[in-house]
Structure 1
């Protein structure tokens, strides 16, 4: 894992997570533990409306924490509409230690890497049932209330788990934009660190 990325993860403080939030995260932890106990593949599809910010950040941080804690898991993301992976979200991840390259203009495909010897994460806005995503034996992790309420059925999902985050889009175009995105990304990273810390070993 890249030095800067590992240092960022090392510094995340799990005690900043409220006990009430840990209770909300327990359903996801229980799902992961059950899969691990049965030696079954772990596949997580993080879903929000536009697959632009929260679901992308959640997928990428969950994959990073799986690597960090040596938990075999594959993470994915999707939306109920196709837009674009928000550039401020991408730049936030780069500042926090990932490396990224992109190709395409209208809906760029970003190749994010955690280390030179690990597979890249292909990140772009897509529907939750895109061919790149699993069609069965996965958990649908609902990261926004709009997608959770307006997408009552996710075909192929064996579990549906709400892990909602406030949309950093509220700060778009303001002087606080970079700060809000950094804070949201750090919040998601911290919670994914907590979740996967409960599954390691």
Structure 2
């Protein structure tokens, strides 16, 4: 599947920057890659739920970028996201994805809207992105890898029922910049950081 050119260019930029990932972080990502490999061997595909507290920013980014990485490296990975509580997919993160070249369509409105995100012209993925708890029926209930991308969810969720592995990969929440002149820059920085690390992980599988 040929990615939209803007996303393709960004992927190339991020892959060229793998050397900036610290050796300590690379060890964590190598463990993630190992768990993905094990799941593919055992179940023929890996299911990954990316989890942060509100399922509003970082967890959605992890879900979207891991799907891009799976496509790039031709891996059988299904991606999901969830929180320890549900709020809404934050509009600033939706805007950041659009700025980066992702096609975002709002499929339902309200307090917790649903979105469909496409990464190429031939992308027929029907995945709905919205805020939900990680155990929501929309997500797999067993044999999945749980990836905690915030320290709060990591501390609040020492055990994730149904998971075959649980990993902590915390990222800084860009919400610290909401309503300031640094807002766009902070969201793009987080978007690139998570993108780079999901691509690096997939490259190891």
TM-score bucket of the superposed structures, by smaller chain: over 0.9
Select the residue among 99, 104, 111 that pairs with 1:106.
111
Deviations 1:105-149 (A, max 9, x none): 211101100113221431110010111100001011011111111
Deviations 1:39-93 (A, max 9, x none): 6220000011000011111111011110111111000000011111011111111
- Residue ranges of structure 1 left out of the alignment (5+ in a row): none
Task: Provide the C-alpha distance between the structure 1 equivalents of 2:146 and 2:179, rounded to a whole number of angstroms.
Answer: 31
State the secondary structure of the residue aligned to 1:164: coil
Corresponding pairs, count: 199
Q: What per-residue deviation string (whole Å, max 9, x for no partner) do you get for residues 1-54 of structure 1?
A: 211111111111211111111012121011012223446220000011000011
Length-normalised TM-score, structure 2: 0.93
Which residue of the partner structure matches residue 165 of structure 1? 171
Question: Does the alignment pair 1:188 with 2:190?
Answer: no
The answer to whether the aligner puts 1:31 opposite 2:20 as a matched pair is: no
Instruction: Tell me how far apart the structure 2 counterparts of residues 129 and 195 of structure 1 sit (CA, whole Å).
Output: 24
Match of 2:101 among 91, 97, 101: 97
Write the mapping of 1:168-179 to structure 2, written as runs, cut at 5 A. Answer: 168-179=174-185
> Secondary structure in 2 aligned to 1:121?
coil
Structure 2 gaps, min length 5? none
Task: Name the CA shift for 1:11/1:57 in 2 (closer, same or farther; >3 Å).
Answer: same
TM-score, length-scaled by structure 1: 0.95
2:49 to 45, 51, 55: 45
CA contact (8 A) 2:58 2:171 kept: yes
